[in-house]
Chains A and B, each alone.
Chain A
């Protein structure tokens, strides 16, 4: 598919639409991965008792 949009037969508007589609999907995909990463990290590294204590202080 990329070959078609990279070719001269695709118009500039088609290329712009392709960038829009892939761009928005790409940003969402990466940020979804970051969302899952945050959730995972919080499970793997929960707040330690001493950290909680220091926060309360």
Chain B
């Protein structure tokens, strides 16, 4: 008889808290439109794995459906890598080719990753029970890539038990870019700086350039950081499909069916890592706090770098463009244009902001690759 009510007798307060957290993620996805494609499946996955006995994780001694998906898609890194093909097929590098100088903001805005790694290590020194080693700090810092698949890829390598909170933090803060970035930008710039206008020249880009670029970038990135090839290589593969001009159907499939299918599986599988015992820990709070810090550091890094450049440039750059160097595309570019228009309705810097934003997508993957290559060398 007891077996009939095993669900009732096994439930704990921690399970209930996880239902509330899962419900909150679903609420944010539906009501607030915060990255709904990811947060909704993650929220529902979090509820599924906290139902007593968690039969989606294991059933009668055999792996359950979500555990099988985890082993097949996350442990092997297949899902994040497939997402990169889809992202590559969606990215148009044309704005970057027209404003190549903006590529440097894609580098400067990765400052948040490294500053957060250092901050997490500092915190770990003073709060030893958090057990923050170099791998954990790096997995937390990569939230600053503002790039979900890269964060998942790196966290899976370095701190698999923290995959849930790191993914939730990465996607939540990406959707909160319109709230996080403006106060940081305002604190670091003057009204005059925010009103700087920039010229935009409509230049044509050869189709050959668009085709050769992804191939050469893959080779260069692969030589510099071979471990980054699954990230850069498949992103550029997706982009090559798009730009080739002869694979319309494949390009469309990568941008739509592949992206949608993998996103469903990725989201719910990430949610399946959010069991109460793994998620309800002080580390989760730390990750949420450090993730926010990473986005603030990213924004500050980009803006301050633009201000530094302005010391040497005759034609000044609007320093807000530095903040668009993060990977959160196209939110960040839109935020910058909105802020510019607020200061001066005739100021149009959207194209430059998009260029910086596209560079951020390259910069975040390169930064992820460098972290992946560097950390194992230092923890031998």
Contact = CB atoms under 8 A, between A and B. Distances in A.
Interface of A: 2, 5-6, 10, 12-13, 15-20, 22-24, 26-35, 37-39, 41-42, 45-48, 51-52, 55
B230 interface: no
B370 A27 contact: yes
Contacts, number: 127
Contacts of B110: 23-24, 27
A42 B205 CA distance: 7
Contact of A42 (B118, B138, B209): B209
Contacts of B122: 13, 16
B217 interface: yes
Interface majority SS (helix, strand, loop, mixed), chain A: helix
Contact residues on B (Cβ < 8 Å of other chain), bracket: 35 or more
Interface of B: 96-97, 100-101, 103-104, 106-108, 110-111, 113-115, 117-118, 121-122, 124-125, 133-134, 137-138, 204-209, 212-213, 216-217, 220-221, 224-225, 359, 362-363, 366-367, 370-371, 374-375, 377-380
Nearest to B305: A28
A12 B97 CA distance: 40
> Taking each of B107, B137, B224, B362, which has the highest tally of chain A beta carbons within 10 Å of its own beta carbon?
B107
Contacts of A5: 378
Contacts of A34: 103, 217, 220, 362
Contacts of A32: 104
B107 A48 contact: no
